[in-house]
Amino acid sequence: MVIKKVINNNIAISTDSQGDEIILIGKGLAFNKKKGDDVDKQKVEKRFYLEDQGLYAKFKKLLQEISIEELNIADDIVSLAKRKLEKDLNESIYISLPDHINLAVTRNREGLNVKNGLLWEIKKLYKEEYLVAKEAVQMINERFNVELGEDEAGFIAFHFVNAQLNSGMNTVAKITKFINEILNIVTYQLNITIDEDSLNGFRFITHLKFFANRIFSQEINESSDDPFLYEVVKERYSKAFDITQKVKEHIRNQYSYKVSDMEATYLTIHIQRLLERKN
């Protein structure tokens, strides 16, 4: 195995026995090396190969901007997530996660900690991903001597969820149609235009995106219902709750999907936020 290209002292590009280009990671792996030199296999710590050539090109560019430690911890976290969630993750996570870790560590060291506006939803709707993300945050804190908290666990859980949304173009088209249908129902009932760039608009669109993916992937919603919260929301946010009932009816009729009380609760809360912005 020989070096095809040196990225930095710790990263080099080579080819495997089948002639496929791979990225080799290891401390000092490419130190004082050049194209054509033999690879010291004892220094190889990790090997990366991405089938998606577009992602692979982005990955090579990212390697010039992040540290080997950030890449290694990201790979360790992805391995942990795959093992504990028992789900396939899109290759894009090998770009999004180390890039995010780099930013999160830098922000924390500068005293800038960002609040996660979707933390509540993530903890409730994506419990397994959040629990794994909490472990990931502990790993990052220990490795980099920083103090990331539950907001950051929410962001990392979001990366796990996004990496599971590995939909083909046909499914993407269905999801887009679904979101537009729900937006039309809600905007008509509220007589407003939803600003997707606002925090509430972003929350609502994001919630609909994951909601749609659960429907079209035929994912069983195993979130435990909270009857008390459901009744409180039903009574306190009666107008938003009525709109949710119209959305539930549409989804049942058009997609043969029964919206759970927990999903209805969160949808009502999002609609209420839009209603409060209107007023």
73 shares a domain with 13: no
77 shares a domain with 33: no
- How many whole angstroms separate alpha carbon 106 and alpha carbon 144? 10
For residue 69, the one-letter residue type is: E
Q: What is the mean pLDDT of residues 224-245?
A: 88
222 shares a domain with 157: no
Question: 142: domain range?
Answer: 68-164
Domain end (from 98, 131, 164): 164
Query: Whole-number mean pLDDT of the chain?
Result: 83
75 shares a domain with 22: no
Q: What is the mean pLDDT of residues 192-217?
A: 76
266 shares a domain with 218: yes
Domain end (from 137, 164, 191): 164
How high is the pLDDT of residue 252? 94
Query: Does the residue 18 lie in any domain?
Result: yes
Cα–Cα distances in Å, from 122 out to 162, 191, 206, 222?
12, 29, 11, 14
- How many whole angstroms separate alpha carbon 102 and alpha carbon 71? 9
How high is the pLDDT of residue 218? 62
Domain end (from 164, 182, 211): 164
Question: Which tokens sit at 239?
Answer: 């107008």
What confidence category does residue 149 fall into, taking pLDDT thresholds of 50, 70 and 90?
very high
What confidence category does residue 74 fall into, taking pLDDT thresholds of 50, 70 and 90?
very high
106 shares a domain with 17: no
Query: Does the residue 91 lie in any domain?
Result: yes
Beta carbons of 230 and 261 less than 8 angstroms apart? yes
173 shares a domain with 270: yes
How high is the pLDDT of residue 165? 63
Least confident of 47-61, 89-103, 140-154, 183-197: 47-61
Higher pLDDT, 14 or 54: 14
State pLDDT tens for residues 132-142: 999 999 999 99
What confidence category does residue 172 fall into, taking pLDDT thresholds of 50, 70 and 90?
low
175 shares a domain with 157: no
Query: Does the residue 17 lie in any domain?
Result: yes
Task: Say what percent of the chain tops pLDDT 90.
Answer: 30
Check which CATH number belongs to the domain holding 13 and give it.
2.30.24.10
Query: Does the residue 59 lie in any domain?
Result: no
- How many whole angstroms separate alpha carbon 258 and alpha carbon 9? 55
Residue 184 has pLDDT above 90, yes or no: yes
Query: Does the residue 109 lie in any domain?
Result: yes
How high is the pLDDT of residue 169? 45
Query: Does the residue 212 lie in any domain?
Result: yes
Beta carbons of 127 and 163 less than 8 angstroms apart? no
How high is the pLDDT of residue 19? 72
Q: What is the mean pLDDT of residues 50-55?
A: 71
Question: Per the structure, how many domains does the chain have?
Answer: 3
Residue 177 has pLDDT above 90, yes or no: no
State pLDDT tens for residues 257-267: 989 888 898 89
What confidence category does residue 9 fall into, taking pLDDT thresholds of 50, 70 and 90?
confident
273 shares a domain with 173: yes
21 shares a domain with 118: no
Task: Say what percent of the chain tops pLDDT 70.
Answer: 87
Residue 170 has pLDDT above 70, yes or no: no
Rounded to the nearest 10 degrees, the angle between the axes of helix 199-216 and helix 169-190 is 130
185 shares a domain with 158: no
Query: Does the residue 54 lie in any domain?
Result: no
Query: Does the residue 218 lie in any domain?
Result: yes
Check which CATH number belongs to the domain holding 183 and give it.
1.10.1790.10
Residue 279 has pLDDT above 60, yes or no: no
